[in-house]
Amino acid sequence: MVALRGLTKRFGDAVAVDAIDLDVYADELVTLLGPSGCGKTTTLRCVTGSLEIDAGSIRIGGVDVTRVPTHRRQVGLVFQNFALFPHMTVGENVAFPLKVRRVPAKEIRDRVGEALMLVRLGHVADRYPRELSGGQQQRVGLARAIVYRPPLVLFDEPLSNLDAKLRREMRYEIRRLRDELGFAAIYVTHDQEEALALSDRIAVMNDGVIHQIGEPAEIYANPRTLFVAEFLGNPNRIAGTLVARRAAGAVVQVGTTEVETRAPVDAIRPGEEVVLVIRPEAVAVARSGGASGANRWEARVVALSFLGERQECRLAVDGGFVVHAYLPPTRRHALGDVVAIEVPAGECRVFRT
Amino acid sequence: MSGLAAASRGAGASASSESPARMERIAHSTRRLLVYTVLLAFSLYIVGPFAAILVNAFGQGWFGGRWLPETWTLKWFRFARTVADLPTLMTNSLTIAGLAIAISLAVGIPTAWAMAKRRVRARALLMALILLPRMVPPITIALGVSREFYGFHLVDTHLGIALAHSILIIPLVVLIMSATFEGLDDRVLEAARVCGARWTHTSWYVIRPLVMPGLLAATLFGFVTSLNEFTLTLLTYGPRTVTLTVETYVQIGQGFTTIASALSAILLVPSLILLVLIQNHIKPENVVGGTKGI
């Protein structure tokens, strides 16, 4: 459906998007995920046609649209700040794309009604955007983007201006719309939870480059670069040295502790400085001390936070490192408690520094 | 016995709790009185000169020492129509104002758009330059303009005077319209484009309604400025282009303050009409393009 080849965009000397290749298939939602300034929004704006690209090509539906102006690209766009026409009613807002295409008035009425029903706002057609709540305004924006059934809909951090509860709700709305209408979508966000929940595939970006593309579960479990490993989840980042490589894994020295890890993705040789990435949910915390065995250590509780659905704690391994891990909300521990922690080797990921 | 004590205790309690409330009521009323007095005085201060003009225009034999004129009459307005040739004056004033606002909008709007939407270097400096004509004493500009206009044969022409007025009106237009354009959310325009609207479509259906309040304000203020302009007109007019303001001055010079008052009263009318229009149709927050996508 969408094919980006070698897409490059420069602002002066800075390269915002660096020769990106991306395919989005007819039925899927691909998310561009990354921190601010990584180039995801710039890429999106190249696809809409708001920005002229410096190199590469963009094909939508098999047609090369690189030189086609925005208003002829037949895409939908949902904005972060809604961007509704403030002087038009909700109904007129949603009707605008149809009016521009000279659709007959009766058909406009029917299709606007249908679109508003789809976003469950059938009763507000005569109100003005300023009279609606944020969530309602965003749904109007959604309705306006899909009313002319574009094959591709783009989302520019659409939920960032909504509060947390509303965001969750809207995720389901977007999912539902996609199921009903079946359009391809490119979604831009810096919120990994949103990306993981909504996407068929995620492209993790940083510094204008895509680090990894894959299904959410896949890139979460098997990150291929340090950036991806660190960006997803809320992992521990521990500096160490590679000591040995084995058939199915490696050993990393951190302080005086040796950690068994899974095989590194990069070709790292023993003696090199590495970063060990361990996700907190992978750290099993057992009550008493007296530990021994591979990746099983004694640790002291140095901090505890109650977060409602779980507890977060920081555990210091003697002569080694500090990890943060999760505990069930009802487990009782005190600062200074000695516990036994265990991390499966497969959950310890090694990357070059 | 106990009942009497209780009654007296009750009476004493109510007496002491009443006076603080009563004192507050007195203080409140005094405050109100003070506020109204100040408002009245201020209104008289503003309205006073206008009232004086109107009374002078409609009255005969109104000399010092009298509150009101001897008789009321319409003859000054008759004189204005015949002796001072009111129809021609009106035509001149309106024509010049029409030309002036047309020129000012034609120059001012693109300038304001450029200042608001494009990255103009030394923008502050440019804005200061544009506003400069309004910072300088009108008589100073008038002298310079008049001198140049003689060279270009622009004196005593409607176009010439309109051009002179534009010097003062363009800054107004640029100021109001650049604020209006700045309030125009770029993303709303982008939304229109993505929805499939060409530039013409976007301009008509999206930009025009959103900038209309500012445009209306700029047009009305500009028109009224030209209508009421005196100093510049005085140094650029001629026998064919006498305006209401200039004629008022001439009549005063000849000692006919009553005819001058009549002319002034007539000059008030367009301004008042426009003021009412502005009040009813333009909300101040809309002038700066206050509505955005959020």
Could you tell me how many residues make up chain A? 353
Interchain contact, B190 vs A86, CB within 8 Å? no
Number of A/B CB contacts below 8 angstroms equals 74
A329 and A195 within one domain:
no
pLDDT higher than 80, residue A329: yes
B66 and B137 within one domain:
no
Contacts of A321 (CB under 8 A, 6+ apart): A236, A238, A254, A255, A257
Q: What is the pLDDT of residue B283?
A: 62
B246 and B179 within one domain:
yes
A256 and A207 within one domain:
no
Q: What is the pLDDT of residue B281?
A: 67
Look at chain B and report how many structural domains it folds into: 2
- Chain A contact for B293 (CB, 8 A cutoff): yes
A38 and A162 within one domain:
yes
Mean pLDDT of A13-32: 92
B232 and B218 within one domain:
yes
B273 and B224 within one domain:
yes
For residue A346, give its domain range: 234-352
Q: Give dist(CA A107, CA A109) in Å, integer.
A: 5
Mean pLDDT of A325-329: 89
B45 and B112 within one domain:
no
Q: What are phi and psi of A163, to 5 degrees?
A: -75, 170
B89 and B39 within one domain:
no
Which residue of A48, A129, A134 is in closest CB contact with B194? A48
For residue B58, give its domain range: 16-72
Interchain contact, B293 vs A86, CB within 8 Å? yes
A60 and A193 within one domain:
yes
Indicate which CATH number applies to the domain containing A164.
Answer: 3.40.50.300
B150 Rama sector, left if φ>0, alpha if ψ -120 to 50, beta otherwise: alpha
As for the ipTM of the complex, it is 0.81
Across B70-84, B131-145, B213-227, least confident range? B70-84
Residues of chain B with C-beta less than 8 angstroms from the C-beta of A75? 194
DSSP letters spanning B53-115? HHHHHHEES--TT-SS-SEE-SHHHHHHHHTS-HHHHHHHHHHHHHHHHHHHHHHHHHHHHHH
Contacts of A159 (CB under 8 A, 6+ apart): A138, A166, A167, A170, A171, A189, A191, A194
Q: What is the pLDDT of residues A278-322, one digit of tens each?
A: 999 988 888 776 666 778 888 889 999 998 889 999 999 887 789
pLDDT higher than 50, residue B293: no
pTM reported for the whole predicted model: 0.78
CA dist B80 → A298, B191, B238, B271 (Å)? 106, 57, 19, 19
Residue with tokens 């030209």: B226
Interchain contact, A76 vs B194, CB within 8 Å? yes
Interchain contact, B191 vs A83, CB within 8 Å? yes
- Chain A contact for B197 (CB, 8 A cutoff): yes
Look at chain A and report how many structural domains it folds into: 2
pLDDT higher than 80, residue A201: yes
A270 and A205 within one domain:
no
B170 and B59 within one domain:
no
Q: What is the pLDDT of residues B108-124, one digit of tens each?
A: 999 999 888 877 677 78
Across A49-58, B34-43, B261-270, least confident range? B261-270
B85 and B57 within one domain:
no
A209 and A326 within one domain:
no
A124 and A94 within one domain:
yes
**In contact, B189 and B262? CB cutoff 8 Å:** no
A284 and A244 within one domain:
yes
- Chain A contact for B156 (CB, 8 A cutoff): no
Residue among B98, B123, B100, B101 at smallest CA distance from B112? B123
- CA of B194 to nearest chain A CA: how many angstroms apart? 5
A90 and A192 within one domain:
yes
Interchain contact, A144 vs B198, CB within 8 Å? no
A218 and A87 within one domain:
yes
Query: Which of the listed residues A228, A243, A269 is the one where a domain comes to its end?
Result: A228
Question: For residue A173, how many other CB atoms are within 10 A of its CB?
Answer: 17
Indicate which CATH number applies to the domain containing B122.
Answer: 1.10.3720.10
Which residue of A71, A79, A130 is in closest CB contact with B193? A71
- Average confidence score pLDDT of chain A: 90
Provide the token pair at A336.
């200074």
Could you tell me how many residues make up chain B? 294
- In a domain, residue B6? The reply is no
Contacts of A5 (CB under 8 A, 6+ apart): A21, A56, A57, A59
B232 and B251 within one domain:
yes
Mean pLDDT of B118-136: 83
- In a domain, residue B5? The reply is no
B80 and B57 within one domain:
no
- Chain A contact for B200 (CB, 8 A cutoff): no
Q: One-letter amino acid identity for A170?
A: M
B196 and B216 within one domain:
yes
A30 and A150 within one domain:
yes
- CA of A42 to nearest chain B CA: how many angstroms apart? 14
Residue with tokens 């070709």: A267
Q: What is the pLDDT of residue A97?
A: 93
Residues of chain A with C-beta less than 8 angstroms from the C-beta of B186? none
CA dist B250 → B227, B230, B260 (Å)? 17, 12, 8
- CA of A37 to nearest chain B CA: how many angstroms apart? 19
A303 Rama sector, left if φ>0, alpha if ψ -120 to 50, beta otherwise: beta
Q: What is the pLDDT of residue B23?
A: 87
B197 and B83 within one domain:
yes
Interchain contact, B191 vs A72, CB within 8 Å? no
Contacts of A225 (CB under 8 A, 6+ apart): A211, A212, A265, A351
Q: Using only C-alpha atoms, what is the Rg of chain B?
A: 29
Q: What is the pLDDT of residue B284?
A: 58
A322 and A188 within one domain:
no
pLDDT higher than 80, residue A169: yes
